[in-house]
A and B are shown apart, each in its own frame.
Chain A
Amino acid sequence: MIKEATAKTATQNACRLCNPLGACLAFRGIEKCVPFLHGSQGCATYIRRYIISHYKEPIDIASSNFNEETAVFGGSHNLKIGLKNVTTQYKPEVIGIATTCLSETIGEDVPMILREYKAAYGSEGPLPQMIFASTPSYQGSHIDGFHAAVRAAVKTVAEGGAEKHLVNIFPGMISPADIRYLKEILADFGLPFVLLPDYSQTLDGGPWGEYHRIPPGGTPMSAIACTGSAAASIEFGSTLESPKSAAGYLEERFGVPRLDMAMPVGIRESDHFFELLEKLTEKPTPEKYRDERRRLVDAYADGHKYVFGKKAIVYGEEDLVISIASFLNEIGIVPVLCASGGKSGLMRKRLLELVPDMEEKGIKVRDGVDFVDIENETDTLQPDLLIGNSKGFTMSKKSSLPLVRIGFPIHDRFGGQRLLHLGYRGTQELFDRIVNTIIEQRQNASPIGYTYM
């Protein structure tokens, strides 16, 4: 019998989601694309439900709908029927196919099935493009599925060629509001770009006068095709390694330089991002963003006393946690625990690069944890606040700790899709919310009832 390193075998209140969820989210950021899960009906339905509760938008995810026969004899037939049905009903330009634990375990050769499908139906007229990402749920977490889908999209259509005046930006799993902000910044720099995936409209769009089989918005496949001839790729994600990333593929295949960096949260990392853009465009940062930076520095000064020395537990996807921790460090909050259900093995190392004195400051990093592990830490660490997604509410309530909601999922508050995290503007919003959380706590705790704080 294998000896367990930890006392706890079962995962209790998981701090991560499964691989295919991330892939569906990323596929939703490609124009006229329908995500398609090769597995049981439940996977698609649960993931839809989970995504809808955060974004409040319809998200159709098709399923090949395994039954017992399929599981025994293989899903080739079901997958083909499914692709045909999706094509008929949604008229997609792209179908994003991701696997599940079931189809991976029976060893489905999806690329081969897709080749057969194309051979069988290709003559009947143009078929939708098909992107395939392998996303077994028994490996990694939703963030791996997200990156796998982005990389697969690029791999499917990117073409080389003479270098274009264009940059690629692969921002990772950020909010629609963050995506819009990044697009605004790049446009203001006058820099042509391809941002992938772009679900800023598909998962946060306007009302419909008629039913859209696929909501408008998303990165067009024609744009993704150009990524192979871009001048460079900017990729956010501290723990995302080149062999797993879209930018990594483009660098290896077409020699497009991969400029990877942490998600730009906080002044230092945002500076880093804007410097990168200055270098790529040989233009100064537009005055609008310099203004945002000045207001942020001013806000830091105005709010510093409320936050100094406060202790926070930060949890969620590894990359988000690292960037938030780096931001907290620059405002004087100690992220006493940086926790993630993800397990890239790189979290500590990457955080150390951003916060070199983390050991002395008493910053602890734990990967591969669940909420019960985190909860157990709160007793000894005595934090002042929690920063992370909605799923920490159980812990927040139990420990009477305020929770600043960020990231995904936000299931117990309104407007999670419109939360901004990145750049000077996103940092400003985060800073305001954190300061206000602390002020509110103090105000409520005081019997005096101060009307100014």
Chain B
Amino acid sequence: MDTQNISLLEGREKQVYEKKNGQKGADIACDTTSLSGSVSQRACVFCGSRVVLYPVADAIHIVHGPIGCAAYTWDIRGAVSSGPELHRLSFSTDLGEMDVIYGGEKKLYRSLIELIDQYQPNAAFVYSTCIIGLIGDDIDAVCRKVEKEKGIPVMPVHSEGFKGTKKDGYKAACTALMQLIGTGSTEEISKYSINILGEFNLAGEAWIIREYYEKMGIQVVATMTGDGRIDAIRRSHGASLNVVQCSGSMTFLAKEMEEKYGIPFIRVSYFGFEDMSKSLYDVAQYFGDKPEIMEKAKVIVHDEIRHYYPDMQKFKKALTGKKAAIYVGGAFKTFSLIKALRTIGMSVVLAGSQTGNKDDYNRLKEMCEEGTVIVDDSNPVELSKFILEKEADLLIGGVKERPIAFKLGVGFCDHNHERKIPLAGFVGMYNFAKEVYESVMSPVWQFAPRKGGQQ
């Protein structure tokens, strides 16, 4: 196969590592901006902010800039709401040439006033895009003015696309959330209470997780931001513990809340039986003074796993020995996926993420088997090279990775924000295994060139 001559871009060597002879090697370079001219799978600062805040369903989200940024993010996440659905609308100040020349503050002001009158939201988020960083609109001032006039929180989100990476966008989103937190009443919040952070309720996943915790007798004050509500966020500083998933996006917020409100946090993952169970046990352990919480957690884990075990054995039998490649947004998810894949007999030949940090990659190196390739901020050429070289049967990624897999005749599991089937929780592990099984075992691959099909 023609992969030997695909070279890594100069300047990317340090972001790729192959585990050989058990050696750990040098640290993977990460936390850097993408190389110019490389087709990064990452997006920008705006994207980071937009994905984090998007699921807040009773707020309006207005994108201040030309039309593109709003158009491409209209209703693209499968983050569902149990009530209002303002987040699924796309609002843009749609700046034109004259606005760029004369400034867009007035247009932003009028847009906000009109939209708030029309939709009666509980808050508004204003995202600044690249141009705003150049033309110097004072969106903070506009937000303050509208907030005063309309009596609802209006948060500026400083997400100019070029001012950093997606991670900086996460931070800008967390900063906006911090403006809300602490402004609501903490009455009727129990000692045994948590916030769920970094769970975006894709395909209703936050509901699944919430139900487990509630069954354990724990009060969930706010989920940030899945099925998010402004009022819940405002009073979230009343919770006893922050439970953080998708650590890349929300660790910053958890740290801020710890500093300001003294709320400790733990990192969890809801993917795979192993990590899902641990998320329940870790929370139960935190509330160790009430042993029945742990007892209930054990019952949940026992019941759930017993329920799905027979099906999982069926999947495992079929999938044992198959090889997977993982390329997702955050590295923390990669850890869970490696474990989840092991549960169904699959090994991992490529593991990578868009935004992992040094610690993440060191942990990945420890977890991975011999021969596994680890990459940071990869690109289609590289991904394809490794998928072919390592003869992967499956790629786990997002919509941008999907056509690479299918072109090369490799199964695919969408583990990104467009998924419509929940992959979190125990039921999520079952869905994940089923999806992997259905894609890897499909008879259509017999026609793929790499399986000997005609070209």
CB pair B134–A210 under 8 Å, yes or no, is no
A70 to B133, CA, bound (A): 12
CB pair B162–A68 under 8 Å, yes or no, is yes
Segment from B233-241, B264-272, B318-326, B444-452 that makes contact with A: B444-452
**What residues on B are CB-neighbors of A62 within 8 Å?**
37-39
Knowing A9-B114, A211-B6 touch, does A41 contact B37 (C-beta < 8 A)?
no
CB pair B37–A81 under 8 Å, yes or no, is yes
Task: List residues 386-413 of chain B with CB under 8 A from any CB of chain A.
Answer: 388, 399-400, 402-404, 406-409
Task: Give the distance to chain B from A2, nearest Cβ to Cβ, in Å.
Answer: 8
Does B3 touch A at the CB level, under 8 Å?
A: yes
Of chain B, the residue at the smallest CB distance from A81 is B36
Task: List residues 147-171 of chain B with CB under 8 A from any CB of chain A.
Answer: 161-164
CB pair B133–A49 under 8 Å, yes or no, is no
Task: List residues 53-79 of chain A with CB under 8 A from any CB of chain B.
Answer: 53, 56-68, 70-71, 78-79
Does A45 touch B at the CB level, under 8 Å?
A: yes
Of chain B, the residue at the smallest CB distance from A64 is B36
A83 to B38, CA, bound (A): 9
CB pair B162–A102 under 8 Å, yes or no, is yes
Knowing A62-B38, A88-B10 touch, does A136 contact B67 (C-beta < 8 A)?
no
CB pair B399–A211 under 8 Å, yes or no, is no
Does B46 touch A at the CB level, under 8 Å?
A: yes
Knowing A58-B380, A106-B134 touch, does A85 contact B408 (C-beta < 8 A)?
no
Of chain A, the residue at the smallest CB distance from B380 is A60
A79 to B37, CA, bound (A): 8
Does B348 touch A at the CB level, under 8 Å?
A: no
**What residues on B are CB-neighbors of A10 within 8 Å?**
62, 91-94, 111, 114-115
Q: Which residue of the partner chain, among A9, A56, A137, A213, contacts B67 with CB atoms under 8 Å?
A: A137
Segment from B95-103, B337-345, B426-434 that makes contact with A: B95-103
**What residues on B are CB-neighbors of A46 within 8 Å?**
43, 47, 68-69, 72-73
Task: Give the distance to chain B from A20, nearest Cβ to Cβ, in Å.
Answer: 7
Task: Give the distance to chain A from B321, nearest Cβ to Cβ, in Å.
Answer: 23
Q: Which residue of the partner chain, among A11, A90, A141, contacts B91 with CB atoms under 8 Å?
A: A11
Does B141 touch A at the CB level, under 8 Å?
A: no
Knowing A13-B90, A56-B403 touch, does A40 contact B130 (C-beta < 8 A)?
yes
CB pair A4–B41 under 8 Å, yes or no, is no
Of chain B, the residue at the smallest CB distance from A42 is B44
Task: List residues 230-287 of chain A with CB under 8 A from any CB of chain B.
Answer: none
Of the A-B pairs whose beta carbons lie under 8 Å apart in the complex, a sample of 12, sorted by A's number, is A13-B74, A14-B90, A14-B94, A16-B71, A17-B68, A41-B161, A43-B68, A58-B404, A62-B39, A66-B130, A82-B37, A394-B88
Known pairs A9-B93, A42-B161 / 16 extra A-B pairs, C-beta < 8 Å:
A11-B94, A12-B115, A17-B71, A18-B66, A18-B67, A42-B69, A46-B69, A65-B37, A67-B163, A71-B133, A89-B7, A101-B65, A101-B129, A101-B131, A208-B408, A211-B381
Binding site for A on B (CB under 8 A): 1-3, 6-7, 9-10, 33-47, 62, 65-76, 88-97, 99-100, 106-107, 110-111, 114-115, 129-131, 133-135, 161-164, 379-381, 384-385, 388, 399-400, 402-404, 406-409, 447-450, 453, 455
